[in-house]
């Protein structure tokens, strides 16, 4: 794996992400500054980490989406390169046009940090091959604006094309408003683009990769990616 972790001013989970990538894949990722115009040669995975890029003072992710490096990311994604956006990273990918839809304020209008249960909808993707379809994983969320929404047509396409990868669920995998903490439409926690090579998700799998720090449910995502990239190489 030769990952590039993007660093925008105000991003703050880039260290967590880099540490997890190293821990699971064994390779240290490149940290890439937003003002760069190129990704490092040989990059096979771009990760847009969480945080508050530009303070999220404007619509979340809107300014970062217009950074020079994002042109390089769009071109990389256009060629089928794998892109993972987590939390603010998901918001940035939506704002940059790589993913459809938008993340609104949580339904209760508050920042929420706690563990959630996610139902993994499919396992035939480079991002979810480390899990079984229908498996429920427990990972934390930490966001104020994670309430996913898109127009009806877009949602119908996402659902019809099987592009919802993760949904908020009960511990036994039931989709239930009581377990959808932010009010996202169809309990959507993570989606991919039409080609399946760009994933955006609100929860933080990178914070659940060590038994001693809680749980390891997030590991599958990074282990799966590592395998997928090794297979390609």
Partner 1 sequence: MNAAAKITPALVAEHGLKPDEYQRLLDLIGREPSLTELGIFSAMWNEHCSYKSSKVHLRGLPTKGPHVIQGPGENAGVIDIGDGLACVFKMESHNHPSYIEPYQGAATGVGGILRDVFTMGARPIACLNALSFGAPEHAKTRHLVSGVVAGIGGYGNSFGVPTVGGSVRFHNRYDGNILVNAMAIGLAHKDKIFYAAASGVGMPIVYLGSKTGRDGIHGASMASAEFDDDSAEKRPTVQVGDPFSEKLLLEACLEIMEKGCVIAIQDMGAAGLTSSATEMGAKGDLGVTLDLDKVPCREEGMTAYEMMLSESQERMLMVLKPDKEKEAEAIFRKWGLDFAVVGETTPTKRFIVRHKGEVMADLPIKELGDSAPEYKRAFVTAEKLPVIDAGAVEARGSIADALERMIATPDLCSKRWVWEQYDHIIGGNTVQRPGGDAAVVRVEDGPKALAMCTDVTPRYCEASPFEGGKQAVAECWRNLTAVGATPLAITDNLNFGNPERPEIMGQFVGCVRGISEACKALDFPVVSGNVSLYNETNGKAILPTPSIGGIGLLEDFTNSATLAFKRDGDAILVVGETTGWLGQSIYLREICAREEGAPPPVDLIEERENGDFVRGLILDGTASAVHDLSDGGLLVALAEMAMASGIGATLDAPPDDIPAHAYWFGEDQARYIVTVPAARADAVLARARDASVLVSRIGTTGGDALKLGGERPLGVANLNERSEAWLPAYMAGEA
Q: What are the φ/ψ torsions at residue 169 (nearest 5 degrees)?
A: -145, 175
Number of residues that bind partner 1 (CB under 8 A): 29
With tokens 């992710």, the residue in question is: 61
Residues 13, 119, 129, 167: which binds partner 1 (CB under 8 A)?
A: 13
* Tokens coding 76: 């990389």
How is 45-88 classified by DSSP, letter by letter? EEEE--B-GGGG-SSTTTTGGGSHHHHHHHHHHHTT-EEEEETH
Choices 90-98, 112-120, 159-167, 182-190; region in contact with partner 1 by CB under 8 A: 112-120
Write the binding mask 204 to 233 for partner 1: x where contact by CB under 8 A, - elsewhere. x-xx-xx-xx--------------------
Q: Using CA atoms, how far apart are residues 62 and 145, in angstroms rounded to an integer?
A: 13
| CA distances, 76 to each of 90, 125, 229 (Å) | 17, 18, 15
Q: Using CA atoms, how far apart are residues 62 and 56, in angstroms rounded to an integer?
A: 8
* Per CB under 8 A, 36 contacts partner 1: no
**Sites for partner 1 among residues 179-208 (CB under 8 A):** 204, 206-207
Residues 27, 28, 38, 55: which binds partner 1 (CB under 8 A)?
A: 55
* Per CB under 8 A, 27 contacts partner 1: no
Q: Torsion over CA of 84, 88, 94 and 99, rounded to 10 degrees?
A: 20
* Per CB under 8 A, 68 contacts partner 1: no
Task: Respond yes or no: is residue 113 known to be catalytic.
Answer: no
Nearer to partner 1, 206 or 217 (CB): 206
Task: Respond yes or no: is residue 87 known to be catalytic.
Answer: yes
Nearer to partner 1, 111 or 133 (CB): 111
Q: What are the φ/ψ torsions at residue 14 (nearest 5 degrees)?
A: -70, -30
- Give catalytic residue positions: 87, 204, 206
Binding residues for partner 1, per CB under 8 A?
9-10, 12-13, 15-16, 19-20, 51-52, 54-57, 110-114, 140, 142, 144, 204, 206-207, 209-210, 212-213
């Amino acid at each position: 794996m030769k990952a590039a972790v993007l660093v925008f001013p105000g991003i703050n989970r880039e260290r967590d992400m880099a540490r997890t990538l190293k821990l699971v894949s064994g390779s240290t990722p490149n940290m890439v500054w937003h003002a760069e115009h190129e990704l490092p040669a040989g990059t096979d995975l771009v990760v847009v980490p969480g945080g508050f890029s530009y303070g999220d003072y404007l619509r979340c992710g809107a300014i970062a989406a217009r950074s020079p490096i994002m042109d390089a990311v769009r071109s990389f994604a256009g060629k089928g390169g794998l892109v993972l956006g987590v939390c603010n990273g998901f918001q940035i990918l939506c704002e940059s046009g790589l993913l459809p839809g938008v993340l609104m304020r949580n339904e209760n209008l508050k920042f929420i940090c706690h563990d959630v249960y996610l139902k993994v909808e499919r396992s035939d993707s480079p991002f979810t091959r480390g899990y079984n379809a229908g498996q429920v994983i427990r990972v934390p969320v930490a966001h104020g604006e994670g309430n996913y929404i898109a127009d009806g047509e877009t949602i119908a396409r996402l659902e019809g094309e099987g592009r919802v990868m993760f949904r908020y669920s009960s511990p036994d995998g039931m989709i239930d408003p009581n377990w959808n903490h932010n009010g996202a439409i169809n309990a959507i926690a993570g989606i991919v683009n039409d080609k399946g090579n760009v994933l955006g998700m609100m929860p933080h799998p990178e914070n659940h990769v060590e038994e001693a720090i809680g749980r390891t449910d997030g590991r599958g995502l990074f282990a799966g990616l590592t395998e997928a990239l090794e297979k390609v190489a």
